[in-house]
Amino acid sequence: MRGSMFQVGGSKLGRSGTWHPELGTRNSPTKGSRMRNTFLALLIVGVVGVWLRPAVGVGLEEQTQLLAAELRCPVCQNLSVGDSPSEMANQMRELVREKLKNGESPEQIRAYFVSRYGEWILLAPKRQGFNWVAWLLPFGAILGGVGVIGFVVRRSVSRSRAPGDAQLPPLDPRYAGRLQAELKEWGQ
């Protein structure tokens, strides 16, 4: 019964979708609905996974690594405490681990390091005050670049459409006669 058809309201329907007599083809809604259902299932699984992650709880070692990844190593300066092989970074990781064992929150630990080393110790600047410039400047530069490119392209297109002083060279009379004859032949 794979290719069976049945009549509904003047159009033939089959198992794989709607028959379009004008087009002579089938419209397969199952492919689109499968993609949509798969996308929705993945979205739901992702949202539930992110939502349940804090409820599951993070171990002491994972919390230590997460906090160490946010702090800059004073010796290496371009590496996080979590990535740095220096002795200073090892001591800072141990200090973070001890503070977490003692029940301090990640916010308190960050505040401790900021009080000792200044805000420089944080790899990502806080989103407040003048630091907003560091967060928003890249997006502003991208938008500005897109705007400049759009302006240049628009100006270039408008110049090419505008009639200018440059006229087309006159058409050779031999070709003009032939063109007129062919246009008459085609009925124009």
Q: Is 82 among the domain residues?
A: yes
The answer to whether residues 64 and 19 belong to one domain is: no
Same domain, 64 and 77: yes
Q: How many domains does the chain have?
A: 2
66 and 80 housed in the same domain: yes
**For position 117, which CATH number holds?**
1.10.8.640
Q: Is position 152 within any domain?
A: no
Query: Which range marks the domain in which residue 9 is found?
Result: 5-56
The last residue of one of the domains, among 82, 99, 121, is: 121
| Residue 132, domain member (yes or no) | no
Instruction: Looking at the structure, tell me whether residues 79 and 46 fall in a common domain.
Output: no
Q: Are residues 45 and 64 in the same domain?
A: no
Position 146 scores a pLDDT of 95
Give the model confidence (pLDDT) of 34-67 as tens digits: 778 888 888 888 877 766 655 445 688 888 898 8
Based on the fold, state whether residues 50 and 73 are members of the same structural domain: no
Q: Is residue 184 part of a domain?
A: no
Is residue 83 very low, low, confident or very high in pLDDT (cuts 50, 70, 90)? confident
Give 5's strand partners.
14
Are 109 and 92 spatial neighbours (Cβ–Cβ below 8 Å)? no
d(CA 166, CA 160): 11
Q: 78 and 109 share a domain?
A: yes
Residue 151 included in any domain: no
Does 101 lie in the same domain as 73? yes
Query: Residue 138: inside a domain, yes or no?
Result: no
pTM: 0.42
Residue 172 DSSP one-character state:
P
Boundary (domain end) residue, out of 121, 138, 154: 121
Is residue 10 predicted with pLDDT exceeding 80? no
Per-chain mean pLDDT for the chain? 77
For residue 121, what are the contacts with CB-CB under 8 A and spacing of at least 6? Answer: 71, 72, 74, 113, 114
- pLDDT value of position 56: 45
Q: Are residues 43 and 74 in the same domain?
A: no
Q: Is residue 77 part of a domain?
A: yes
**pLDDT number for residue 16:** 47
For residue range 138-154, what is the model confidence (pLDDT) as tens digits?
A: 899 999 999 999 999 98
If one counts every other C-beta atom within 10 angstroms of the C-beta of residue 96, the result is 27
Domain assignment of residue 131, yes or no: no
